[in-house]
Chains A and B, each alone.
Chain A
Amino acid sequence: MRKVAAIALAAMMLTACGGGSSGGGSGASGGAKVSLSKSLDGASKAPACQTSPVTGGTLVYARQQTTENLDTLKLVNGNGDIFASNLLFQGLTRPDPKGTPTVQPAIAEKWEVSSDGKTYTFHIRPGIKFSDGSPITADDVKFSLDRFGNPKINQTLAAVAVGYDSTKVIDDSTVEVKLQFPVASFLYNISIFPGFIVPKKPLEAQGDAFWKKPIGSGPFVLKELERGSHITFARNPNYWDEGKPYLDEVRFDFATDSNSRLLSLQGGQAQIADGIPFSQVNSLKSSKDLTLQTAKVPYFVGLWLNHKRAPLADLQVRQAMQYALDRNEINRAIFRGVGTIPNSQLMALKYDAPASQIKPYALDMAKAKQLLGQSKFAKGFDISLGYPAGYDYYKQLGLYLQNAWGQLGIKVKLNELDQASLSDRFYKGDYDMVFPYSQFTSDLPVPDEYAQFVAEPKSGLNGFFSFWKDDAITQQVRKFVATTDDSARAQQWPEIQRAINEQSPFINIMDLPFINAHANNVCGTDVDALGSDHLEDAWIAKG
């Protein structure tokens, strides 16, 4: 253990000092991925986890992102806030805690949808209670959904409330939700934080103070939030799924520094840590005491192109740039083989067609040169690339792209920027090419959210700040998001995926997983399709 720790630390220091070593000689591309996903299977099959779950114990989780705020309609600190609120609250539906991209009954036990797709009747689970023991009534549900549908209150993610009209209380345990038009992803939209159900009376009585000691119906209740340090959750004794959660207590220790997270894990202060840096993957894989866990989530390294720049608005130029990339090499050298080569230019989403059906762009320098030669920019051009400071892999990726596109005569100027300036330029459209976020993810496992962000002009987001526009794709997307029949959607989406892939309005360099590491005796740590822990199935094995 100590030896492993020492090696890991030595590696950390090297990366810290040298600004990141390049990953020469580590792991083969395809093989590493397979063996990694096998080690994930090994997680639940670890000898300690073979017995049936035991109740009790405290799990300390070293977390990359801090939690500042628990007001479910004002979560502005990304996954730091969202993942914490996922333990405290639930909606009528919830994402499958085991990770499939589906929704399951939560507060609603069952529901019916009208044939026109505009009316949903939800039946509240009999006997279900809030964490304070009071029953969840139809009034609470109506109150919460009306807040969800009010863009003045729902500040962070009003986009998921699109089409919401009203909720009618039928009886104590039944509500009828009306939509203005069919919204195919509605059950997904209400499964995440803006759709969480909260008790009407205490929230109305306490106002903002409610969120300091919130009442929900998730598997855990808030024990303490110490900003900048930790958030502690205790078991919700009134949780509807009897016998769960298994843990008495969960503590998220905020450790924004990756070295600090790993030290906590190796020193035994924490039993699980998220945000494992790619540079640590190999040394952790060989650790006997720790299990590495990767989860497929809609998370990608999306390079955004500004279509107000003439060369980038040229289809042949964009395709030439795609063909000049050796994604196998990028995956091996920079992402240590944990990535997946994408065949979609958006993050990996439900209904995506497999690589056999839609082929990923493969390295073909001759084709790249030919395409660029046919364009108006045959001689190449100068262009800048912005990326967030403080991440060794973005720096490495920038250098790789500079070299790869340099061979086509495209001179890339690298521009490392702090997140605030980077976002500012991105949202103002004042950039050429940019990796806009350190972690670019979707809020939903289904494509509806990002398809509309990029292709629905009514969103007011200008092709999600790319200024790209394609009327045919917009029409396809409009049809897709209004189609409630799941099998029809499964046929429509691959066509959109193919069209966007060909157009390449932005460049998906790589699909990435979320990577956790935990002690071998921590069991049942599956995450949902969005990468969030639910921890109601987590337990600590003895010995």
Chain B
Amino acid sequence: MARYLLHRLALGIVVLFGLMVATFLIVHLVPGDPIRQALGGRASPDQVAAIRHNVGLDDPLPVQFWDYLKNALSGNFGTSFVQNASVGELVGHRIAPSAILIGYGMFVAIAIGVPLAILAAVRPNGVTDHSVRLVATLSFAMPLFWLGLVLALVFGLKLGWFPVSGYESGVGGVMRTLTLPAFTLGLALTVVVVRVLRSSLLEVLQTDYIDAARARGFSERRIVGKHALRNAVMPTITILAINVGFLIGNTVVVEAIFRIPGLGSLLVEGVQRSDYQLVQGLVLLAGATVVLASLFADLLQAFIDPRVRLAGR
């Protein structure tokens, strides 16, 4: 198991290094000069050149990359010229809303998706099964910005249960301000949970050991809840881990609709202004999160299923 983990960890580091190279190249090769863009047309060419020199943008690319790598390894992700603050400080200020939003969205997807999947799998091709799949697919097919606006309109403006936008910290504040965004994010993922879990549950429910359990007279609830679910849940965990990337991407849209001061909106600001340091830092952070999530999923599987643990030996 330890060897397996080490292997995965090493792979993760290689992935992250590749990501650093790729983002560095993309932000530097895509047209757009952060200094000229920040100063606008009004600054003279001399002034632009002077500031480019001050922040090291006139160094050759390999030198700039080496500096970036060196600093990143010591935890320094540079300074955003545009925002006049260090990337670490900017990210630190805005990581909490995004992290909570993604966690809450994941929770919504599981809390809604798992019971629905079970309902659907217990009576395959029944009315419940079809309607569950239909509703879940519909919520997946709706564009996020539209779903978000509808939720804000109905539960924010009409019913007044939640504020239409904004962010407050603290448990009460998070419940008030992040519930609608989390549902917007989570509903889109629910269909993934429903579809994957339903089909693997169906498969497991037809295996011999479930027949054996039935023959021993266990209740259906115990058979599905304990025996079948434990085996069927593996693919769902993998899929959810993969979808962390999907959630991170979607926070960009959801944060804009609900005015949440998170990393998604920070990334948009960075990209629009060619803020190299900021974009590099944020993409690396998102990459690291995805790598860690899949590592965590592997660990969780090993914990749930001894076969995974043993196979790794």
Give me the interface of A with B, judged by CB distance under 8 Å: 2, 5-6, 9, 12-13, 16-17, 66, 68-69, 71, 74, 76-78, 151-152, 155-159, 208, 211, 226-229, 253-257, 259-260, 263-264, 266-267, 269, 418-421, 423-427, 436, 443, 453, 459-461, 464-465
A68→B83 contact, CB < 8 A: yes
Known: A76-B38, A228-B265, A229-B167. A69 touches B84 (CB 8 A): yes
Closest to A462 in B: B45
Known: A9-B149, A420-B32, A460-B44. A269 touches B262 (CB 8 A): no
Closest to A70 in B: B84
Contact check: which of B41, B149, B262, B268 meets A259 at CB < 8 Å? B149
With A and B bound together, what is the CA distance between A77 and B146 in angstroms? 29
A74→B46 contact, CB < 8 A: no
Stretch in B2-10, B151-159, B282-290, B304-312 with 4+ CB within 8 Å of A: B151-159
Contact check: which of A76, A269, A460 meets B45 at CB < 8 Å? A460
B145→A158 contact, CB < 8 A: no
Shortest beta-carbon distance, A481 to chain B, in Å? 16
Residues of A within 8 A of B94 (CB): 227-228
Closest to A226 in B: B261
A269→B272 contact, CB < 8 A: no
Let me know if B129 is at the binding interface, CB within 8 A: no
A2→B149 contact, CB < 8 A: no
Residues of A within 8 A of B152 (CB): 263
Apart from A6-B153, A263-B165, A464-B41, what 20 extra A-B contacts exist at CB < 8 Å?
Answer: A16-B149, A17-B143, A17-B146, A68-B82, A155-B51, A156-B39, A158-B43, A159-B42, A228-B261, A229-B166, A254-B261, A255-B259, A263-B157, A263-B164, A420-B37, A424-B36, A425-B31, A427-B36, A461-B44, A465-B41
A427→B83 contact, CB < 8 A: no
With A and B bound together, what is the CA distance between A453 and B268 in angstroms? 30
Which B residues from 244 to 286 make CB contacts under 8 A with A?
A: 256-259, 261-262, 265-266, 268-269, 271-274
With A and B bound together, what is the CA distance between A157 and B166 in angstroms? 33
Which B residues from 137 to 181 make CB contacts under 8 A with A?
A: 143, 145-146, 149, 152-153, 156-158, 163-167
Residues of A within 8 A of B93 (CB): 226-228
Shortest beta-carbon distance, A341 to chain B, in Å? 25
A227→B83 contact, CB < 8 A: yes
A259→B257 contact, CB < 8 A: yes
B37→A69 contact, CB < 8 A: no
B259→A260 contact, CB < 8 A: yes
A158→B47 contact, CB < 8 A: yes
A266→B165 contact, CB < 8 A: no
Shortest beta-carbon distance, B247 to chain A, in Å? 19
5 closest Cβ contacts across the A-B interface?
A420-B32, A228-B261, A229-B261, A76-B38, A424-B31
Closest to B272 in A: A419
A269→B163 contact, CB < 8 A: yes
Closest to A421 in B: B31
Known: A17-B146, A228-B94, A256-B256. A459 touches B261 (CB 8 A): no
Shortest beta-carbon distance, B71 to chain A, in Å? 20
Contact check: which of B30, B33, B153, B259 meets A9 at CB < 8 Å? B153
Closest to B256 in A: A257
- 20 A-B contacts (beta carbon < 8 Å): A5-B153, A5-B157, A9-B149, A13-B146, A68-B84, A76-B82, A76-B84, A155-B39, A156-B43, A158-B47, A260-B164, A267-B156, A269-B163, A418-B271, A418-B272, A420-B274, A421-B30, A424-B33, A461-B41, A464-B41
B149→A12 contact, CB < 8 A: yes
Known: A76-B39, A260-B257. A266 touches B157 (CB 8 A): yes
Let me know if B293 is at the binding interface, CB within 8 A: no
Residues of A within 8 A of B233 (CB): none
With A and B bound together, what is the CA distance between A229 and B266 in angstroms? 11
Let me know if B57 is at the binding interface, CB within 8 A: no
Closest to A419 in B: B272
Closest to B263 in A: A228
A253→B32 contact, CB < 8 A: no
Residues of A within 8 A of B45 (CB): 460
Residues of B within 8 A of A155 (CB): 39, 43, 47, 51
For chain B, give the interface size range: 35 or more
Residues of B within 8 A of A211 (CB): 84
With A and B bound together, what is the CA distance between A453 and B43 in angstroms? 10
Which B residues from 199 to 214 make CB contacts under 8 A with A?
A: none
Known: A420-B31, A460-B44. A264 touches B145 (CB 8 A): no
Closest to B31 in A: A424
Contact check: which of A76, A77, A260 meets B165 at CB < 8 Å? A260
Residues of B within 8 A of A260 (CB): 164-165, 256-259
Residues of B within 8 A of A460 (CB): 44-46
Shortest beta-carbon distance, B283 to chain A, in Å? 16
B32→A421 contact, CB < 8 A: yes
Residues of B within 8 A of A6 (CB): 153, 158
Shortest beta-carbon distance, B93 to chain A, in Å? 6
With A and B bound together, what is the CA distance between A423 and B31 in angstroms? 9
Let me know if B122 is at the binding interface, CB within 8 A: no
Known: A267-B164, A420-B273. A228 touches B266 (CB 8 A): yes
Let me know if B295 is at the binding interface, CB within 8 A: no
Type the 1/0 row for B48-86, where 1 means its CB is closer than 8 Å to any CB of A. Answer: 001100000000000000000000000000000111110
Let me know if B242 is at the binding interface, CB within 8 A: no
Residues of A within 8 A of B156 (CB): 263, 267
A424→B164 contact, CB < 8 A: no
Type the 1/0 row for B184-195, where 1 means its CB is closer than 8 Å to any CB of A. Answer: 000000000000
Shortest beta-carbon distance, A83 to chain B, in Å? 16
With A and B bound together, what is the CA distance between A464 and B25 in angstroms? 30
Let me know if B90 is at the binding interface, CB within 8 A: yes
B261→A157 contact, CB < 8 A: no
Shortest beta-carbon distance, B143 to chain A, in Å? 8
Residues of A within 8 A of B47 (CB): 151, 155, 158
With A and B bound together, what is the CA distance between A69 and B261 in angstroms? 16
Closest to B38 in A: A76
Residues of A within 8 A of B85 (CB): 68, 227
A264→B149 contact, CB < 8 A: no
Closest to B33 in A: A424
Residues of A within 8 A of B90 (CB): 227
With A and B bound together, what is the CA distance between A527 and B174 in angstroms? 36
Residues of B within 8 A of A69 (CB): 83-84
Contact check: which of B33, B81, B157, B257 meets A2 at CB < 8 Å? B157
Known: A253-B166, A420-B274. A158 touches B44 (CB 8 A): yes
A16→B146 contact, CB < 8 A: yes
Shortest beta-carbon distance, A277 to chain B, in Å? 14
A427→B30 contact, CB < 8 A: no
With A and B bound together, what is the CA distance between A421 and B30 in angstroms? 8
Shortest beta-carbon distance, B102 to chain A, in Å? 16
B32→A423 contact, CB < 8 A: yes
Contact check: which of B149, B256, B259, B271 meets A420 at CB < 8 Å? B271
With A and B bound together, what is the CA distance between A159 and B47 in angstroms? 11
Shortest beta-carbon distance, B306 to chain A, in Å? 46
Residues of A within 8 A of B146 (CB): 13, 16-17
B259→A253 contact, CB < 8 A: yes
